[in-house]
Amino acid sequence: MQRVKAVLKARHSFQRLGILSHQRCLSAQPNYALYDDFEDQVLVEGRAKSRAAILNRPSALNALTASMAARLKRLYESWEENPDIGFVLMKGNGRAFCSGVDTVALHRLLNEGKVYECKRFFETLYKFVYLQGTYLKPHVAILDGITMGCGGGISLPGMFRLVTDKTVFSHPETQLGFHPDAGASFYLSRLPGYLGEYLALTGDKLNGVEMIACGLATHYCLNARLAWIEERLGNLMNDDPAVIDSSLAQYGDLVYPDRSSILRRIDTIDKCFSHDTVEEIIDSLENEAAGAYDDWCKTVLRKMKEASPLSLKVTLRSIREGRFQSLDQCLAREYRISLAWISKSVSNDFTEGVRARLVDKDFAPKWYPASLEEVSKDMVEYYFTPLGELEPELVLPTSLREPYI
């Protein structure tokens, strides 16, 4: 119980780690993407002193496409420069905020040999995440419903994150033969203890209450009250963060994780996921499972053993490096890792994972390497190697937009 209270208190100190900081620096000039603009996939609502971007692919759980990422980046750049707009809001249409990258579309592009288009997508997405994380104006993300993968990346770096009783947050990338990206190694690594490693390696879910408790969200309200909050925000004529904060809190609730919350197991998570290697983490979980009175450890082990062995090792190193890096450094590293995955130079686990879980849905991916023992240090190192002269690194406007530490 004392450990749970410590987790609840951690959200108050989370601001010092950068995720809740309100300090912003100079603006960058717009750098327009080259994708076609499918406006119906990202709708815009004009408010008295604000603008709202609405992710509008409800049938696909608002999975992010290249055109959506490019449109968001253009909109946010123009809104930042517009003196009549005081703050910006983002939400999703339907039962999801954003279920992450449209991996099925990427899978199709890779099978067609269109690797360059995939690279441009990741470049645009990561540049938008950096824009979001250094935005000059207050930002409100309404994470109502499913929020997976890059759905966190396009929202969590912003100033305010409102969650509800419908919110479901997760990073299931290792199950797809990929890695948590779009800034995930920045914000997951700054969670209390080793909760970030746990979420990244297992793909386990957090609800809205748990996101508040560990600091990923700033405000909580019931889904039934969202319309009242949106109406109040829409009528605001003031862009003062304190006024926006009080407006979000007006219909909020004071909530605590229930007895079944994963946060109640924070001691076990820290004990098992603090180890240096995936093998040691699994050994620790197996030792815990041997003396446990429930199946939690066994469930965690099953999830990890279903994941790509190579993804697990790459992901663990990525989260660990993220603990000591700023947002721009995390995005640059994630860009290298993502390009290594889509190049298939070491493994085709990404395309195989998407095929098995989202395309053919046989849920029987054939990972390569097939076991942790077969994953060599050189394989893992390849994903972190600088790209070199023939492949430009991700270039972010750090001289104009100061990154978080």
Q: What is the pLDDT of residues 192-205, one digit of tens each?
A: 999 999 999 999 99
Q: State the pLDDT at residue 128.
A: 96
Structure tokens given for 355: 């095929």
What 8-state DSSP symbol labels residue 357? I
pLDDT higher than threshold 60 for residue 16:
no
Whether the CA torsion 229, 234, 236, 239 is positive or negative: it is positive
Instruction: Indicate whether 276 belongs to any domain.
Output: yes
Among 114-118, 287-291, 315-319, where is mean pLDDT lowest?
Answer: 287-291
> In terms of residue numbers, what domain contains 190?
38-253+261-384
Q: Mean pLDDT, to the nearest integer, of 140-145?
A: 96
Q: Across 250-390, where does the E strand assignment appear?
A: none
- Whether 208 and 162 have beta carbons less than 8 Å apart is answered as no
Residue 235 to residues 45, 91, 239: CA-CA distances in angstroms? 13, 17, 11
Q: Residue 8 above 50 pLDDT?
A: no
Domain count, the chain: 1
Smallest Cα–Cα separation from 149: which of 110, 194, 182? Answer: 182
Q: Residue 10 above 80 pLDDT?
A: no
Q: Is the pLDDT of residue 399 over 90?
A: no
- List, for residues 77-107, the tens digit of each pLDDT value: 999 999 999 999 999 999 999 999 999 999 9
Residue 14 lies in a domain: no
* 4 vs 402, more confident: 402
Q: What is the mean pLDDT of residues 276-293?
A: 91
Is the pLDDT assigned to residue 20 strictly greater than 90? no
**393 lies in a domain?**
no
Q: How far is Cα 183 from Cα 154, in angstroms, rounded to an integer?
A: 9
Asked whether residue 26 is assigned to any structural domain, the reply reads: no
Q: Could you give the strand order of the β-sheet that contains 42-46, starting from the edge strand earlier in sequence?
A: 42-46, 50-55, 87-92, 139-143, 160-164, 219-221
Q: Taking residues 28-33, report their average pLDDT.
A: 34
pLDDT over 80 (residue 299)? yes
Give the confidence band of 391 by pLDDT, cuts at 50, 70, 90. confident
Q: Is the pLDDT of residue 389 over 80?
A: no
Per residue in 360-381, pLDDT (tens digit) is: 999 999 999 999 999 999 999 9
Q: Please tell me the predicted confidence (pLDDT) of residue 28.
A: 32
Task: For residue 404, name the pLDDT band (cuts at 50, 70, 90).
Answer: low
Chain centroid to Cα 142, Å, comes to 14
Specify if 189 maps to a domain.
Answer: yes
For 384-399, b/e burial (b = at least 16 CB within 10 A) is: eeeeeeeeeebebbbe
Q: Which of 116, 35, 31 is nearest to 70 (CA)?
A: 35
Banded pLDDT at 60 (limits 50, 70, 90): very high
Determine, yes or no, domain membership for 349: yes
pLDDT beyond 70 at 298: yes
* HSE toward the beta carbon, residue 331, CA cutoff 13 A: 29
| 15 within some domain | no
pLDDT computed for residue 316 by the predictor: 98
Whole-number average pLDDT of the chain: 88
Compute the average pLDDT of residues 285-307: 90
- Looking at the domain assignment, is residue 149 inside a domain? yes
CATH of residue 88's domain is 3.90.226.10
pLDDT score recorded for residue 37: 45
Q: Are 217 and 158 in contact (CB under 8 A)?
A: no
